[in-house]
Structure 1
Amino acid sequence: MTQRIKIKEIKSTHKNSADRFNPSNRIYVRAVYGFFQKLRKFTGWGLILFFIAMPMIRWDGHQAVLFDVDKQQFQLFDMLFFPQDLTLVAWVFIIAAFALFFFTTYLGRVWCGYTCPQTVWTFIFIWFEERFEGTANKRKRLDEMPWDFNKVWRKTAKHTGWLAVSLLTGLAFCSYFVPVEKLYTDFFTGQSSMLVLIMIFIFTFSTYANAGWMRSIFCVHMCPYSRFQSAMFDKNTYSVGYDATRGEKRGPRSRKVDRNETGLGDCVDCDLCVQVCPTGIDIRDGLQYECINCGACIDACDQTMDKMGYPRGLISYTSEQVLEGKETKLLRPKIIGYGLMLLVMVGLFIVNLSTLTNAEMEILRDRNSLYRENVDGLIENTYTLKVINKSTDAQVYRITFAGLKDATLIGPKQITIQSGEVFTQPISIAVDPYDIKAKKITLTIKLTNVDNNEVIEQDASFFLGL
């Protein structure tokens, strides 16, 4: 079994570390630029555009992605899903869980740093702060200043931007459940229903509160993922780490001074790694569950190393094994196990998806009577045919049956069903009593697509005779 990381008691010497668990202690995140922040911004903006644009895509005359609660159906491009198909949603969540376990074991909390909505929206809100209130130090001084016109207009502009982004987020989320044209038209013309307005308000308020006010409080105190991630970490997990062997003893010095003469390590104790951290931790204290692996401290430290003329990598994506001077093992039981389970779940999902048909049919026998003799002297059984057209277009189906020789179908031989329609049709099957060889006969009723003569669905029932 893979060796787990030992728990270490952290007693940070940083001046702000004692208050970082206090929810009222605000963190002023300093701006930083570098490779990992460019990667984070590229990923974040891509996900946001994907989130907003998906409901707006038109596909074959309809909205490409729509969870229609009223009709109880889910439109996904050419596919139409109904409540009975919700097992696919379960498979999607299972796959997502194992993918999260796999990548966390291998690369730590990369989900939190690069793709988590809390992180993505938080950095967008910080962007508004920087545009209207200035750098981290300016924002801190502005909060300490008394209220005047300068402070009022800057705060108002910032919160207006926050609310605009929050409202857009709420509308974008609701557009997955309400047709996008109707949603935006009704909202901006004041014709939205009370339920839609409540949904928009809830998601607007949640975005504004989480990304604007809570931020790291949510990550540190509320997010369950930060708590159970330790079960997936081991000494070979790649995460943001500080090379204490190279960095200690830390201390400031001039760039002109030879570091070998000072007896100090490469860390100049500039505190930039702490100032750019969105959760306010000091990565030099070691691995901490608050770290979201965003790489901001890596970019800040690399810039300092470049200015000092030292090699990069004092803070980097590394593993406990490497920091201890050992080699990282990429293939290990936990990684292999999660990987195999992920492949199995993806395979089962594909199998489940491939078995879906464009129509579903159910045959229900009339329970009020076993059989009856009609005016022509034929033995007749009555059934209710229930068909759901799961395609995106109207379909014409032909009804046939097998298992009973020389029988007659009483009712429509061909039916037309609109897209998403749940069609119910009573039918009867009649046969001469002399042709009945048994009291209970297995009957197969088939549904055939008229356009391509393909048997779409079939269901078995019983024909009861004398």
Structure 2
Amino acid sequence: MSQDKIDIKDVTPKTFNPKTHKGKKDRFNPSDGIYVRESKGAFQILRRYGAWFLLLLFGLVPWIPYGERQAILLDIGHQQFNFFGTTLYPQDLTLLALLFMIAAFGLFFITTFLGRVWCGYLCPQTVWTFMYIWFEEKLEGAANKRRKQDSGKMTPNLLLRKTIKHLAWIGIALVTGFTFVGYFVPIKDLVVDFLTLNTTFWAGFWVLFFAICTYANAAWMRSIVCIHMCPYARFQSAMFDKDTFIVGYNPERGESRGPRSRKADPKKLGLGDCIDCDLCVQVCPTGIDIRDGLQYECINCGACIDVCNKTMDRMGYEKNLISYTTEHKLSGKNTKVMRPKLIGYGSIMILMIILFFLQVASVEPVGMSVLRDRNQLFKINSAGYVENTYNLKVINKTQQLQTYTLNVSGLSDVTWYGNQTIQVDPGEVLNLPISLGVATENLNSPVSTIQFILTDSNQFTVEVESRFVKKL
């Protein structure tokens, strides 16, 4: 058996009886709500400021103008993704694949190194859940007060506060739906059309769909999503090892746990530093007891670390009874930060990043494709020339009106039937039918290789190869 395998401790309650487990919740029962107690400390400050930054970024980006449109618009209807001055088309979507690969290996790297910090600090489910809990605390009170209110009778005052809370939650959900869909549909038009009931069916459907999902996930399901629905919680064990930094409790120092006065000497009482205050359980958004060992429900948010450190301060004990640590460190061994798995994930991620930027640098400001007329390979026109017909498709990937000049090489004395100077609007795909005529004596073979040359005002050139047919 591998020496790196993490020992799993079964912490499933054999019998759960609310009468004998007063104040505790059955975290394996989705219907048993968790009242999350507010936690303050260094890690919660980091989490809150990081969450607010990401929320502002998410909410403001669709409103940033660039020219005559918004700066970032993933316009699926017109099959173009606009990023400020760059427009990507379906043929450029290898960039999107590389971006997803970077994100995947970045997540693997971070998880192997720091465990589920993505879940605790950056995951939308966590960010929106804590935002909803903030409104709950401000309108209904602290966790103990909410628990007591919900176990009693509904009063008019409580009903009013709950109504305001749910209206605030619904408002946040609608703003979230508008913002998300606003990355795919011009957001200004979307808001105006929605409020005036002039929006298209699908735009309105997706706004309401994401609003309902946000409200359901952050207001009602919360930890149920993390524990029962999120696939990441299931396959994270493939990336964990005993050198992965996790939120862990030090049983050597904390046990045996038990209450005592501040002045009491725990050693004389035969106790460890844990005073069994249960605050680490009360602040946990997934309702687990970190003292039971490593559990897949833990999202590494650090709430239990902050509240435990405050308790240690009040008791005059050393901090970090609960801390970001590793299984090896908890067992008294050295932690190996640089290890093959971590190096492998990091190397592949760096390689993907290099490939991504090389691909971005190679994106051309204009694209052209050439399709021969398949209905008639050639014809002899009224001037006695052999004539071939083509359909040129020119894509202006810039955000400015462009003027292009078209030429052909590979044949001598070519007569061009059609426009050789064209103007293409920003983001437009222009279909241009043209014909080429060549005197028979200038054709040395039945099929000749030619190149269509497109040149813009900045002398950027695109060449596309095709064929000129003289006879079958």
* TM-score above 0.5, yes or no: yes
* Equivalent position of 2:374 in the other structure: 367
Tell me which residue corresponds to 1:273: 280
Query: What secondary structure, in the 3-state scheme, does the structure 1 residue paired with 2:162 have?
Result: helix
Which of 11, 21, 27 is 1:20 aligned to?
Answer: 27
Structure 1 pair 15–228 and aligned structure 2 pair: CA distance change class (3 A)? farther
Residues in 1 aligned to 2:358 and 2:177: alpha-carbon distance in whole angstroms: 35
Q: Does 1:356 align with 2:363?
A: yes
Extract unaligned runs of 5+ from structure 2. Answer: 15-20
Q: Secondary structure at the match of 2:468?
A: strand
Q: Are 2:63 and 2:187, in contact at CA under 8 Å, matched by a contact in 1?
A: yes
The one of 300, 319, 324 equivalent to 1:317 is 324
Instruction: Kindly provide the amino acid, as one letter, of the partner of residue 446 in structure 2.
Output: K
Matched, 1:94 2:95: no
CA distance in 1, matches of 2:358, 2:253: 52
Q: What residue in structure 1 maps to residue 202 of structure 2?
A: 195
Q: Distance in 1 between matches of 2:271 and 2:70?
A: 63
Q: Compute the displacement of 1:104 (Å).
A: 0.0
Larger mean CA deviation between 82-91 and 157-166 belongs to 82-91
Question: In structure 2, the residue corresponding to 1:5 is in which secondary structure?
Answer: coil
Corresponding residue of 1:458: 463
Deviations 1:31-53 (A, max 9, x none): 01000000000111111101100
Alpha-carbon shift at residue 73 of structure 1 (Å) = 1.5
Of 255-264 and 237-246, more deviation after overlay is shown by 255-264
RMSD: 1.5
Query: What residue number does 1:224 align with?
Result: 231
Which whole-Å deviations, capped at 9, do the CAs of 1:105-150 have from their partners, x for residues lacking one?
A: 0000000000000000000110111011101010001111112212
Matches within 5 A, 1:261-410: 261-410=268-417
Shift of 1:375: 1.6
Asked if the contact 1:251/1:267 (under 8 Å) is kept, the reply is yes
Q: TM-score, normalised by structure 1?
A: 0.97
For residues 16 and 347 of structure 1, the distance between their equivalents in structure 2, rounded to whole angstroms, comes to: 53
Query: Hey, which bits of structure 1, 4+ residues long, moved more than 4 A?
Result: 11-18
CA contact (8 A) 1:17 1:282 kept: no
Name the aligned partner's letter for residue 8 of structure 1.
K
Shift of 1:190: 3.1
* SS of structure 1 residue aligned to 2:274: coil
Shift of 1:4: 2.2
Whether the 8 Å contact between 1:274 and 1:283 is mirrored in structure 2 is yes
Partner of 2:432: 425
Equivalent pair of 1:2/1:332 in contact (CA under 8 Å): no
Residues in 2 aligned to 1:128 and 1:342: alpha-carbon distance in whole angstroms: 38
Corresponding residue number in structure 2 for 1:7: 8
Match of 1:241 in 2: 248
The counterpart of 2:146, out of the listed 127, 139, 143, is: 139
TM-score (norm 2): 0.95
- Secondary structure of the residue that 2:58 maps to in structure 1? helix
Determine the structure 2 residue equivalent to 1:127: 134
Residues of 2 paired with 1:255 and 1:308: CA distance?
A: 5
Residue 171 of structure 1: how far off its partner (Å)? 1.0
Matches within 5 A, 1:128-207: 128-207=135-214
Matched residue count: 464
- The one-character-per-residue Cα deviations of 1:211-269 (angstroms, maximum 9, x if unpaired) are 00000001000000000000000000001000110101111110011222212101010
Distance (whole Å) between structure 2 residues aligned to residue 362 and residue 309 of structure 1:
75
Contact 1:2/1:333 (<8 A) preserved: no
Contact 2:25 2:34 in 1 (8 A): no
Query: Identity over aligned residues, as a percent?
Result: 52
